[in-house]
Chains A and B, each alone.
Chain A
Amino acid sequence: MVKARHRTFGEKLFGLVNASALCLFALAALLPLIVSVSTSLSSKLAVDTNQVFLWPVQFTFDSWKYIVFRPDLWRSFGLTLASTLIGTALALLVTALLAYPLSKKEFKLGGVIMAAVIVTMIFKAPIVPYFLTVREIGLFNNPLVLVLPHIVSAYCLAIMRTFFKQFPHELEEAAKMDGCGYFRILFRIILPSSTAVLATLGLLYGVVIWNQYQTPLLFLQDQSLFPLQMKIKQFIVDGNELPILAAKAVVNYNERTLRAATVIFAIVPVVLVYPYLQKYFVKGAMLGSVKG
C-alpha cells in the first residue's frame, strides 16, 4: 500500500464509520452467546423476573452443577467425541485410498469412477430410499451410522485428487525404482508431505460429524445412542428431560437457565479448539475455488 498520500477527512470519517459498523456486527454475532452464558450463570429469580441481560444477575453455578452431573449428557458427549475422532481418521484414510488411484493416469477405471462420483454430486438420491438402504444394511440403531455415511465426500475427494495430481512425480518415480508399491508410496511419501491438505479436509469432515443431526435423527431411536446434538435437542424441546421443578425446590435454576447451560456446554469444546483450527479452515474455504 502506498501511504504517501494524506487521508482526506472523508476517508478518515469513512474509516471510523466502517470500523464502528464492523464492531457492531461482531457484537451482534456474539450477543446471543453472551446472553446464553449470562442466563446459565444467573439465579432462577433473576431469570424469571427478566433481570438478566448481558451479564449474570445473582451469580450462581447451580445450573452448571446440574448439567455437569448428568451422566447421560457426558455419555452423548463421549459418543460424539469418539465418532468425530474415529470418523475423521477413517474418512481421511478412505478418501486418500480412493483419491490416490484416481489421480493416476495408468488407473484405467479412474475416468469411470470419477464420472460416477460427480454424478452423485449433481443427482442426489431422495431421502426415503436412502433411509431404506441404510436401514437394510443394519445401521439402524447402530452407532456406526454416526461414522460410515460420512467417510467420503465427493467434494473432499475431488480436492484431494487435485492435490495428489500436483505432487512432484520425481519422488514417486524414485520410490518406485527402489521397489516401493503404491501403498508404500502413498503412506510413506505422499501422505506425510500432505499434512496441510489432510488437516484442512479433516476439519471439514470433523465439523460435519460433530454437528450432524439429520443422520442420527433418521437412524437412532435408542436414547443411549444419542449423540450430543440429539441430546441437546431433547433438553431444548422435551420438558421431560429436565428435572421437575416443584415450587418449593431449593435449587437455584429453572428450565431456561438449564437450557442455556446445555447449549453453552455443547459450544465450549468448539470454542476451545477453534484457535488451533483457524488457519486450516481459511485454507479449506479457499479450496472451494479449486476445480476438481
Chain B
Amino acid sequence: MAIPGVLYFLVFKYIPLTGSVIAFQDYSVFKGFWASDWVGFKHFEKLWAYPGFHRIFWNTIILGGLRLILTFPIPILLALMLNELRIAYLKKSIQTALYIPHFFSWVIIAGITFDLLGYHGLFNQVRGWFGYEPILVMQMEDYFRPVYILTSIWKEAGFGTIIYLAAITGIDPSLYESATMDGASRFAQIRYVTVPLLLPTILTLFLLDIGSFLDLGFDQIYNLLTPMTYRVGDVIDTYVYRTGIQQAQYSFTTAVGLFQSVIGFVLVYVFNRSARRTEGGLW
C-alpha cells in the first residue's frame, strides 16, 4: 500500500539528495552520480573566489530579509481590520478581492506587473498626469526590490489573513464581554484582548517564516527579472538555473545549491524547534 508513495520519495527526493555528491566531483553525464571523478572541495573554493557568487548570495539575503520584515506584519493588520468590519457582505467581498491573487501563477502576476509598469502602462499614465516623463520601471535596478516586495504583498498578504482570522475566531467571546463590562472601548479591546491572544500565533508564524526565508520563490524572481536588473535581482535559484541547467555547469552549481540547502537546513531546523516551543512547528 505504501509502495507508490515510498517510491516517490526515493526517486524525487532521496536520489537527488544523494546526487548532491557531484558537488565534490567533476560530474560526467556518462559516468553518473557516483562514478564521476572526485575533486574534493574544488568547486567550493571556486565559489568563494568568485565575486559573482557574493553578489547573488547577498541579493538572496537582502530580498529574503526585506520580504520577511516588510510583508510579515501586513496580514496581521489586515486581519485586525477585517475583524472590526461588521458589515458581513462587505467583509466577504473584500476578502474575496484580497484572496484571489493568491490563486494566480507568477507568470500571470508578473505579466500584469510588466504591463502596469510598462512604457504605456498605468504607472506611467499617472506619472504623465503630474508632468513626469515615462520610465521603464522593470528595467531599472532601483525598482526591482520594491517591485518584488509589492508583488509579494499583492499575491499573498490577503491570503495570509486567513490563519489570523481563524485564530481571532477562536478567542473566547466572554473575554470581550467582560472587557466591555469594564468599559473598554473597541480600541482597548483590540489592544488588550485580541493582540495579546494573537501573539503566540504571530510568533509561531514568524519563526517559521525566518526558517524559510531563503526560499524566495523561483517563479516570482525569474518572471520579474530582466537582464538589466540582474545586479540587484539575480539570486541563487535563478543563477543556478541559468548557469547550471542552461549552460550545463552541473558540479559547480550543485555546490552553490548545496551551500544554500545547508544554510536553509540550519535555519529551518533551528527556527522550527523554537516555533515548536511556542506553539507548533511543522513537525
> A239: CB under 8 A from chain B?
no
Instruction: Report Cα–Cα, A133/B254, bound state, in Å.
Output: 13
> B213: CB under 8 A from chain A?
no
> A245: CB under 8 A from chain B?
no
Contact call A116/B9, Cβ cutoff below 8 A: yes
Contact call A101/B97, Cβ cutoff below 8 A: no
> Which segment, of B49-57, B63-71, B263-271, faces chain A?
B263-271
> A246: CB under 8 A from chain B?
no
Identify which of A29, A35, A274 contacts B98 (C-beta below 8 A): A29
Contact call B254/A129, Cβ cutoff below 8 A: yes
- Interface size class for chain B? 35 or more
Instruction: Report Cα–Cα, A158/B72, bound state, in Å.
Output: 25
> B131: CB under 8 A from chain A?
no
Q: In whole Å, how far is A141's beta carbon from the nearest beta carbon of chain B?
A: 14
Contact call A133/B19, Cβ cutoff below 8 A: yes
Instruction: Report Cα–Cα, A223/B158, bound state, in Å.
Output: 35
Q: In whole Å, how far is A258's beta carbon from the nearest beta carbon of chain B?
A: 11
Contact call A94/B98, Cβ cutoff below 8 A: no
Contact call B185/A11, Cβ cutoff below 8 A: yes
Q: A125-B19, A267-B104 are in contact. Are A214 and B245 (CB under 8 A)?
A: no
List, in ascending order, chain A residues with CB within 8 A of B1's CB.
Answer: 97-98, 100-101, 182-183, 186
Identify which of A19, A109, A149, A278 contacts B12 (C-beta below 8 A): A149
List, in ascending order, chain B residues with CB within 8 A of A33's CB.
Answer: 112
Contact call A127/B244, Cβ cutoff below 8 A: yes
Q: A288-B163, A289-B280 are in contact. Are A123 and B17 (CB under 8 A)?
A: yes
> B106: CB under 8 A from chain A?
yes
Contact call A122/B272, Cβ cutoff below 8 A: yes
> A282: CB under 8 A from chain B?
yes
List, in ascending order, chain A residues with CB within 8 A of B20's CB.
Answer: 125-126, 129
Instruction: Report Cα–Cα, A126/B23, bound state, in Å.
Output: 10
Chain B interface mostly helix, strand, loop or mixed? Answer: helix
Identify which of B106, B107, B245 contacts A128 (C-beta below 8 A): B245
Chain A interface mostly helix, strand, loop or mixed? Answer: helix
Instruction: Report Cα–Cα, A223/B152, bound state, in Å.
Output: 29
Q: Kindly supply a per-residue 1/0 record for chain A positions 188-223, scoring 1 wherever the CB is within 8 Å of any chain B CB and 0 otherwise.
A: 000000000000000000010011111001100000
> B223: CB under 8 A from chain A?
yes
Instruction: Report Cα–Cα, A271/B108, bound state, in Å.
Output: 13
Contact call B163/A286, Cβ cutoff below 8 A: yes
Contact call B115/A39, Cβ cutoff below 8 A: yes
CB-based nearest A residue for B159 = A285
> A131: CB under 8 A from chain B?
yes
Q: Kindly supply a per-residue 1/0 record for chain B positions 141-179, scoring 1 wherever the CB is within 8 Å of any chain A CB and 0 otherwise.
A: 000000000000010001100110011000001001100
Contact call A122/B265, Cβ cutoff below 8 A: yes
Q: A2-B176, A97-B1, A125-B20 are in contact. Are A271 and B100 (CB under 8 A)?
A: yes
Contact call B115/A259, Cβ cutoff below 8 A: yes
Contact call A19/B85, Cβ cutoff below 8 A: yes
List, in ascending order, chain A residues with CB within 8 A of B120's CB.
Answer: 47-48, 50, 256
For the A-B complex with A23-B90, A213-B219 known, give 4 more contacts whose Cβ atoms are closer than 8 Å: A101-B1, A236-B114, A256-B115, A292-B283
- 14 pairs, A vs B, C-beta closer than 8 Å: A1-B173, A11-B185, A31-B122, A94-B4, A94-B5, A100-B1, A101-B1, A120-B17, A122-B272, A125-B17, A132-B22, A133-B11, A157-B5, A232-B108
6 shortest interchain CB distances as A-B pairs: A126-B257, A98-B5, A129-B19, A211-B105, A125-B16, A26-B97
